[in-house]
Amino acid sequence: MPATFTRHQVETEKRDTGYGGKPPVDRRPTGGGGGDDNWDSRSSRHGGPRELLIRYRLAVLSGLAGDFVFFAVLVSAFFVRPTAGHIDAGANFVSDWHPIAIPPILWINTAILLLSSLTIEVARRQLFHEIDVMEEWLGLGRPAVKRAAPWLLATILLGGLFLAGQWIAWQQLSAQGLYFATNPNSHFFYLVTGAHAFHLLLGLLALVFAMAAIFRLKKVEMRQIALDCTAWFWHAMTLFWIFLFILLVCYQ
Amino acid sequence: MNAEPAHSAAPSHGFLRRRVFTTEHRALAVLYLLIGLAAVIVGTLLSLVIRIHRVWPTVPFPLYGILRPEDYLAVVTMHGTLMVFFVLTVVPQSAFPNLVLAEQIGTRRMAFPRLNATAFWITLASFLALLAAFFVPQGAPISGWTSYPPFSAIAATGPGQGAGMDCWLASIALFCIAAVASSANFLATIVARRGPGMTFGRLPLTVWSWLTSSALTVIAFSALFGAALMLFADRHFGTSFFIPAGEVINGIARSGGASGSPMLWLHLFWFFGHPEVYISILPGMGLASALLANFTRRPVLGYRFMVIATLMIGFLGLGVWGHHMFVSGMNPYAGTAFGLTTIAIAVPSSAEVLTWLAMLFRGRLRLSTPMLFTLGFISFFISGGLTGPILAQPALDAYLHNTFFVVAHFHLVMAMAGVFSLFAGIYYWYPLLTGRLMNEMLGKAHFWISLIGAYGTFFPMHLAGLAGEPRHYAQLAGPVESFPSLIPVERGITFAALTLAAAQLIFLFNVFRSARHGDRAGENPWRATTHEWSPDLHPITRGEPYVYGPYPGGTKDFLPQWELAAPATSAQPYPSGAKPE
C-alpha cells in the first residue's frame, strides 16, 4: 500500500494548514473556499473559524432542548391538574382548581423581558459586524466590543428589572394569601415562574460572565462565542416566558 | 493502541492527575466502568437476597437477620434503581461512548472535555446519594424504582419513605443533570467533531445509536427532572401535584389535601421510563451490528436501512410510554392507542433482528467470546422481545401486568440483552484499555454458564407469571391454591440465579488477570474496520464502515476505514498520487 500512503500524507499536510489563520467572519476574505472539492477531505472539524462557534451552539441547543422538555413537563401539570378532582360524600364531583388573578405587573415584566431580548440581540450582532470583526482580528482596536458593551449592560439591567418584577408579583400574590401550597393553581404559578426565574438568574450570571469575557478574552471568536451562546439562551428564556405567560393569562 | 491522546496530561503528572482528575475521555470511561462495576455488584447481591428470600423466607441473613416485608420492598427498589440507572445507563450510554465514540468518528477529543468530566463527577455524586439511602434512618425507599405516588409523595406511608426517599430523589435529580450534560457533549461531538472524511453516511452504527440515544437522553431525563422537582415540592412544600384527596394512610385519613393526580406522575415517569429502555439497549444494538459484521466477516446488510431503523426506534420510543400504564386506570381508548404505537415499534426492531439473522445465515462465524455474547444478546432480544407484542395488548396485559410474566419480559429484553451486549463490548474493547486480550477459555466458560443461568432464571418466570404469581410480594403465602405448586419453580429460579451470579466471578477474575497476563493484542486484534483500532492518531476516513469479505481490488478480507482500496481498479483510472485537474 505505499502508493496509497503518499496520497494520505499530502492530505494530512493540507488539512493542518486549514485552521487558525482565518478571521471569524462568514465571508471568506480570499473569495472562494480554495476550490477543494475533494470528498475525502470534507469534515466537520477544521471547517474554518466558524467551527468552534457551531460546536458551542450545538451544546447550548441540546441543553435548551432538554429545558424545553422540562418546561413542557411542568406545563403538562397545568393541563392535567384542573381535570383532577374527587367525589365527595354526597357523590358530587369536586374540583379544587381555583383560577387566580394574574398580578398586572407581569405585563410590564413581559415587556421588559422582550426589550432585553432585543438589546442582547443588538449586542450580539455588534460582535458579528464584519468590518469591526476584521479590525479586532487585526488588532487595530476593539470597536465591536465597545459597541456591544452598552447593549449588554442594558440587557443585564433589564434582566435584573424583570427578576425584581417577578419578586414583586410574588409579594403581591402572597399579600392576597396565595402561597405556593395554597391551591393547585398557585402551586403551578409559583412552580413555573420560579423555575423560569431560576433560569433567568443563571442567564444573568452568564451575561455578567459574557460581559467579562468580551473584554478579557484574547481570541475574537471566543468573545463571539461567549456572547452568542448567552444570547441564544436568553432568547430561549424569553420565548419560554411568552409561552408560559400566555398559559397563565389565557388558560386559567 | 495505548497512545495517549494529544491533549492529555503529560506523563510527568501523577496517577491521580492522569487517571482520575482528568478530562481525558478514555480515563473517564474507566471511571464510569468502575461505577458500573460497583453498582452491578451491589445490585446483583440485592437480587440474590430477593431470590433467597422468596424461597427460604424464614432463613436469617448473616449480619442482618430475617428480612421483613418492607425490607424486601427496599431491596427490590434499590436493585431496580441501581441496575437501570447505574448499570444499564451508565455503562452503554456513558462509559462506552467515552471509550470509543471520539475515536470512532476519527478524532481524539470530545467537543467539551470539561463538561464531560463534570458529568462524571455529578454521576458519582448521584451514585453516592443513592447508596446513602441504605444508611439513613429507616433505610432505603420501598416504593419501587418507579416511585409511584402517593406512596413516594408522603413520608408517613412507610419506612424509608422519609429520608431514604429524599436520597433517592436527590440521586435521580443529579443523575438527570449529569445525563443531559454528557449527552449534550456527545451530540456536539458527533455532529461537529467528526474527523476528515467522516460523513454521516460513514458513521459506524454504534455512533448512530449513540446519536439517537443521546437525543433520547436529553428529552427523557429532562422530563424526569421536571417530575422529580414536582414530587419534591409535594413532599416538602405542601403542594399536591400528585397526591390525591382523601388519602388514608395506615388507617388515618389525611386532613385537607387537594386532589392531585398520581396518574400525572405515571405519565411523566414513563415518558422518561420508556425512552430509557432504548437509551440502554440502542448502543447494544449498534454494537451487535458491528460485531456481527466483524465476526462473520460480512458487511452489515443494509447500512442505510439499519440507520433508519435505529432512528425510527428512537422516534417511536417517545410515543409508547402508556403501555406501562394499561392497568393504572388510564382511559381505555388511550390504552388502545398506546398498544398500537407499541406494535408499531416492533416493526423497526424486528427489521434489525432479521438483518442480524440474515448476516448470520451463511456467514463465516468466528465464535470468539465477544461474538458469543453478541449471539447471546440477539437470543435474549428475540426471546424477551417476543413477549413484547403480547404485553402490548391491553386485554392480555390486564391479566399479566402484575405477574412475573412482566418480570421475565423486561429482564430478558432489557436486563439480560443489555448486560450481554455490555459483556460483548467489554471483551471486544478490552485491548484498547490494556493492550491485551481477555482469556478466551474463561470468556467462553463465562458465556455458557451465564447463558444457561440467565435462561434458567428468567424463562421459568413466564410460566410462574402465567400461573398467576404476583410481583412485588415478599412471600408466597395465603389461600391461593396455585402458590404451593409454584414453590419448586421458585426454587429452580433461585438456583439458576445463584449460578448466574457465580459465573460473574469468572468474568471478574478474567478482567483483572488478563490486564497483566493476557495475550498481547497487537494493533488490530479483531481485524476490525472502525477507527478505534486505527494506528493513526488523526485518521482520515476513506470509506464506509464494515467493509468485510471480498471487495474490489482487495488483498485482505477487510478494509479499514482509514485505508483506501488498492488503486489498481477501474474506480481510479489515474495513477495514484496524481490528482486529476
Look at residue A153 in the predicted model and tell me its pLDDT. 96
What is the distance between the alpha carbons of residues B435 and B443, in angstroms, rounded to a whole number?
17
C-alpha torsion sign, points A151, A155, A160, A161: positive
What is the distance between the alpha carbons of residues B198 and B192, in angstroms, rounded to a whole number?
11
Among A38, A69, A193, A240, the strongest candidate for a mutation testing the B interface, having the largest count of B CBs within 10 A, is A69
SS3 B548: strand
Look at residue A5 in the predicted model and tell me its pLDDT. 35
Q: Exposure string (b/e) for B486-501, b if CB count within 10 Å is 16 or more?
A: beebbeebbebbebbb
Average pLDDT over residues B217-226: 97
Residues 6+ apart with CB under 8 A from B428: B287, B291, B370, B526
Residue A31 has pLDDT above 60, yes or no: no
Maximum alpha-carbon separation in chain A: 91
Joined together, the cell numbers standing for residue A11 give 492530505
| CATH number of B526's domain | 1.20.210.10
Compute the CA torsion angle B550, B553, B556, B559 (nearest 10 deg).
-80
Average pLDDT over residues B452-462: 96
- Residue contact B226–A69, C-beta within 8 A: yes
Joined together, the cell numbers standing for residue A174 give 402572597
Q: Range with the lowest mean pLDDT among A12-16, A247-251, B386-390, B462-466? A: A12-16
- Residue contact A12–B538, C-beta within 8 A: yes
User: Which residue in A42, A76, A96 is closest to B199 by CB distance?
Assistant: A42
The helix (H) or strand (E) run that includes residue B433 is: helix B417-434
Tell me, yes or no, if the pTM score tops 0.95.
Answer: no
Count how many domains chain B has: 1
What is the distance between the alpha carbons of residues A55 and A60, in angstroms, rounded to a whole number?
9
**Residue B483: which pLDDT band, with cuts at 50, 70 and 90?**
confident
Instruction: Give the bridge partners for A95, in sequence order.
Output: A85
What is the distance between the alpha carbons of residues B375 and B348, in angstroms, rounded to a whole number?
19
Look at residue A132 in the predicted model and tell me its pLDDT. 86
User: Which residue in B197, B199, B227 is closest to A73 by CB distance?
Assistant: B227
What Cα–Cα distance (Å) separates residue B517 from each residue in B33, B239, B369, B447, B523?
21, 59, 17, 20, 17
What Cα–Cα distance (Å) separates residue B129 from each residue in A108, B143, B165?
42, 17, 11
What is the distance between the alpha carbons of residues A134 and A113, in angstroms, rounded to a whole number?
32
SS3 B36: helix
Look at residue A30 in the predicted model and tell me its pLDDT. 46
Average pLDDT over residues B488-509: 96
What is the distance between the alpha carbons of residues B112 and B100, in angstroms, rounded to a whole number?
15
What Cα–Cα distance (Å) separates residue A170 from each residue in A174, A242, B433?
6, 18, 55
- Which has the higher per-residue pLDDT, B156 or B460? B460
**Residue B247: which pLDDT band, with cuts at 50, 70 and 90?**
confident
Residue B202 CA from chain centroid, whole number: 25
User: Which residue in A42, A180, A184 is closest to B258 by CB distance?
Assistant: A184
Average pLDDT over residues A139-156: 91
Q: Residue B120 falls within a domain, yes or no?
A: yes
What is the distance between the alpha carbons of residues B314 and B345, in angstroms, rounded to a whole number?
9
Residue B368 has pLDDT above 90, yes or no: yes
User: Which residue in A55, A86, A183 is closest to B111 by CB distance?
Assistant: A55
Look at residue B257 in the predicted model and tell me its pLDDT. 61
Under 8 Å between Cβ of B506 and B513: no
Under 8 Å between Cβ of B95 and B178: no
Residue B4 has pLDDT above 50, yes or no: no
Residue A193 has pLDDT above 90, yes or no: yes
CA distance B574 to chain A (A): 12
User: Which residue in B188, B246, B263 is closest to A86 by CB distance?
Assistant: B246
Q: Give yes or no for B566 touching A (CB within 8 A).
A: yes
Under 8 Å between Cβ of A110 and A241: yes
Joined together, the cell numbers standing for residue B564 give 483506501
Compute the CA torsion angle B6, B11, B16, B19 (nearest 10 deg).
40
pLDDT digit string, tens, across residues B121-137 = 999 999 999 999 999 99
Joined together, the cell numbers standing for residue B406 give 412482566
Joined together, the cell numbers standing for residue B186 give 456527545
**Residue A15: which pLDDT band, with cuts at 50, 70 and 90?**
very low
SS3 B556: coil
CA distance B4 to chain A (A): 20
- Which has the higher per-residue pLDDT, B293 or A10? B293
Cβ contacts from A onto B, under 8 A: 173
Give the B window 243-272 contacts with A, CB below 8 Å: 244-246, 258-261, 263-264, 267-268, 271
Look at residue B288 in the predicted model and tell me its pLDDT. 96
CA distance A3 to chain B (A): 6
CA distance B576 to chain A (A): 6
Length of chain A: 252
Residue A45 has pLDDT above 70, yes or no: no
Residue A89 has pLDDT above 90, yes or no: no
CA distance A35 to chain B (A): 11
Look at residue B575 in the predicted model and tell me its pLDDT. 45
Residue B511 has a CB neighbour count (10 Å cut-off) of 19
Phi–psi pair at A119, nearest 5 degrees: -65, -40
DSSP structure string for B217-267: HHHHHHHHHHHHHHHHHHHHS---SSPPTT-EETTEEPPS-----HHHHHH
Average pLDDT over residues B407-414: 96
Under 8 Å between Cβ of B569 and B547: no
- Which has the higher per-residue pLDDT, A98 or B275? B275
Look at residue A46 in the predicted model and tell me its pLDDT. 54
Q: Range with the lowest mean pLDDT among A170-179, B180-189, B571-580? A: B571-580
**Residue B503: which pLDDT band, with cuts at 50, 70 and 90?**
very high
Residue A36 has pLDDT above 70, yes or no: no
What ipTM is given for this predicted complex? 0.89
**Residue A158: which pLDDT band, with cuts at 50, 70 and 90?**
very high
Q: Which residues constitute the domain of residue B197? A: 15-559
pLDDT digit string, tens, across residues B510-536 = 999 999 999 999 889 999 999 999 888
Q: Which residues of A touch B225 (CB under 8 A)?
A: 70
Q: Give yes or no for B412 touching A (CB within 8 A).
A: no
Q: Residue B567 falls within a domain, yes or no?
A: no
Give the B window 271-290 contacts with A, CB below 8 Å: 271
CA distance A22 to chain B (A): 19
What is the distance between the alpha carbons of residues B580 and B578, in angstroms, rounded to a whole number?
7
Mean pLDDT of chain B: 90
Q: Range with the lowest mean pLDDT among A92-101, A175-184, B144-153, B314-323? A: A92-101
CA distance A121 to chain B (A): 24
CA neighbor of A77 nearest in space, from A192, A238, A180, A237:
A192
CA distance A23 to chain B (A): 19
Look at residue A88 in the predicted model and tell me its pLDDT. 73
Residue A34 has pLDDT above 50, yes or no: no
Determine the residue type at A105: I
Under 8 Å between Cβ of B46 and B148: no
Peptide linkage before B150 cis (omega within 30 of 0): yes
Compute the CA torsion angle B434, B439, B442, B443 (nearest 10 deg).
70
Look at residue A27 in the predicted model and tell me its pLDDT. 58
CA neighbor of B526 nearest in space, from B440, B405, B412:
B440
CA neighbor of B296 nearest in space, from B561, B551, B548, B525:
B548
- Residue contact A73–B240, C-beta within 8 A: no
Q: Which residues of A touch B541 (CB under 8 A)?
A: 40
- Residue contact A84–B564, C-beta within 8 A: no
Highest-confidence segment of A134-148, B147-161, B312-326: B312-326
Residues 6+ apart with CB under 8 A from B416: B376, B380, B384, B454, B458
Q: Residue B62 falls within a domain, yes or no?
A: yes
Find the residue in B nearest to A61 (Cα).
B184
Under 8 Å between Cβ of B297 and B557: yes
Among B114, B239, B270, B558, the strongest candidate for a mutation testing the A interface, having the largest count of A CBs within 10 A, is B239
**Residue B245: which pLDDT band, with cuts at 50, 70 and 90?**
confident
* CA-atom Rg of chain B in angstroms: 25
Q: Range with the lowest mean pLDDT among A2-11, A97-106, B61-70? A: A2-11
User: Which residue in B184, B246, B267 is closest to A59 by CB distance?
Assistant: B184
What is the distance between the alpha carbons of residues B189 and B480, in angstroms, rounded to a whole number?
57
Under 8 Å between Cβ of B28 and B22: yes
What is the distance between the alpha carbons of residues B13 and B397, in angstroms, rounded to a whole number?
58
**Residue A11: which pLDDT band, with cuts at 50, 70 and 90?**
very low
- Residue contact A59–B221, C-beta within 8 A: no
- Residue contact B577–A42, C-beta within 8 A: no
Q: Give yes or no for B104 touching A (CB within 8 A).
A: no
Residue B581 has pLDDT above 70, yes or no: no
Residue B238 has pLDDT above 90, yes or no: no
Look at residue B43 in the predicted model and tell me its pLDDT. 97
Q: Residue B575 falls within a domain, yes or no?
A: no
CA distance A217 to chain B (A): 18
- Residues of chain A with pLDDT > 90: what percent? 49
Residue B145 has pLDDT above 90, yes or no: yes
Q: Range with the lowest mean pLDDT among A85-94, A98-107, A210-219? A: A85-94
Q: Range with the lowest mean pLDDT among A17-26, A238-247, B154-163, B384-393? A: A17-26
User: Which residue in A43, A58, A195 is closest to B187 by CB distance?
Assistant: A58
Look at residue B12 in the predicted model and tell me its pLDDT. 58
Average pLDDT over residues B294-298: 92
Q: Give yes or no for B468 touching A (CB within 8 A).
A: no
pLDDT digit string, tens, across residues A91-127 = 777 777 778 888 999 999 999 999 999 999 999 999 8
Q: Residue B565 falls within a domain, yes or no?
A: no
Fold topology of A51-250: Four Helix Bundle (Hemerythrin (Met), subunit A) (1.20.120)
pLDDT digit string, tens, across residues B349-363 = 999 999 999 999 877
CA neighbor of B209 nearest in space, from B552, B577, B530:
B530
- SS3 sequence, A114-170? HHHHHHHHHHHHHCCCHHHHHHHHCCCCCHHHHHHHHHHHHHHHHHHHHHHHHHHHH
